[in-house]
Structure 1
């Protein structure tokens, strides 16, 4: 009898082999994913300096962001460890200026080692055993003055969501991490803004901009059921996603981090 395949890599990271259809359907095919992409479409041009520079998309998954940048004139290298995710991206993005690399974030020194003027890493660090070391690796691959578009799953928002759902004991005990083993995918390493501030400073990165993604949607008792209500919700999200205190409770926190030092950052593996 064959042993069940572990959902974890040898580094202890939660990987997503075999889940391309789930991500394409129930996640990005639903309102949460649609809202996330709609907000990014608005926020990325506001938060990044875009001048057709090459882009490294780390953990690019199904390729939505790689396609977004490619359509705007950027040559993109998409790095993704899950083979079926990468195959899905290849098919969806055929003919666009995108290079596809099957590799983990930890393998960047061997697979995508050149300094990059723009790195994108969205919804990846929260699935890693050691997100602090991962941020150091990303920083080490930024060119001086380069930008890192980083999006992470917000631990504080996860706590608020549990309180709203009535999981008071879980919130009091701060038992917020997922196990990575269930179908309901709660990240194994949800992160706080304080952690990003501290780890960025450690690696010569300055926080140039920050926003919350889905600051209202995930707390609604009744999700929008009409096109008019959906339009109002998107307008609210766009209006307050960069405003205190609302951005701090976004389900995701979106950062523009800039490499301000000229020395080579240490790379942790």
Structure 2
């Protein structure tokens, strides 16, 4: 039986180094912050950052006036987040999505959950736990790892048998950063609809970057690529191949 994957030990260091120490992480963060600011009504509401990782989005929200509660299961990630967030109005708690009702009970007017569900053995149950904490009239910023993008990138890399056999998910071993439960757009929409939640916007996060021939684009290429990413992240058909899919989710009052 599969278990949830938390970024413990070397995973935390690898995540910080290989994601946010590279152009893909910097671009992900820029696109995510722009999308949240564009699509979610944000003033100074209390905000829950579920699975908040290293604390980048908690820091961004706190500097915009939110009192943030960050919940993160991995101790190494939480220690790094606390260092980043020192002096800000952020409360850091150790726990997973299943413990939200006990650690950080709602209802919350605003929730962030970014790149978390795909690391759960039962992602739908994780989404249900989030939904239970979202207040009537509240908004959730939800980002998931896109299974279709994973399929496409494996074809580009020549992993044809793996794609034909649908062996796309990570196995949860070693320090690989391939999620154990990548998600498809249609299933996410179905789950949200079943929970009575409305989707007010979908954005592809990194719709071009991960398919470049060059793994390490030059600074000049990154400037042009950033313009392309922002121009096409919500345009058909490109958003559908974003490495991540972002959903602006609303619970009707």
Q: Does 1:22 align with 2:11?
A: no
From 76, 101, 104, the counterpart of 1:84: 76
Contact 2:15–2:177 under 8 Å retained in 1: no
Q: What is the rounded CA distance, in whole Å, between the counterparts of 1:225 and 1:115 in structure 2?
A: 43
5+ residue gaps in structure 2? none
Q: How does 1:37-116 map to 2 (within 5 A)?
A: 37-116=29-108
TM-score, normalising length: structure 2: 0.96
> C-alpha deviations, 1:107-137, integer Å up to 9, x for none?
0111111200110000000000101111111
Count the aligned residue pairs.
252
Please, which of 134, 137, 144 is the counterpart of residue 142 of structure 1?
134
Return the offset for 1:227: 2.1
Q: Is the 8 A contact 1:224 1:230 kept in 2?
A: no
Aligned to 2:224, which of 225, 232, 251? 232
Q: Is the 8 A contact 2:14 2:175 kept in 1?
A: no
Give the conservation status (yes or no) of the 8 Å contact 1:20–1:88: no
Indicate if the aligned counterparts of 1:70 and 1:96 stay in contact, CA closer than 8 A: yes
User: Could you tell me which residue of structure 2 aligns to residue 5 of structure 1?
Assistant: none
In structure 1, stretches of 5+ residues that fail to align are: 1-9, 263-269
Pick aligned residue for 2:174 from 182, 193, 215 = 182
Instruction: Give, in whole Å, the separation in 1 of the partners of 2:33 and 2:248.
Output: 15
Instruction: Please tell me the root mean square deviation across aligned C-alpha atoms, in Å.
Output: 1.3
Give secondary structure in 1 for the equivalent of 2:181.
coil
| Matched residue SS, 2:175 | coil
**Higher relative helix content:** 2
SS in 2 for 1:209: strand
In 2, the alpha carbon distance for the partners of 1:47 and 1:241 equals 13
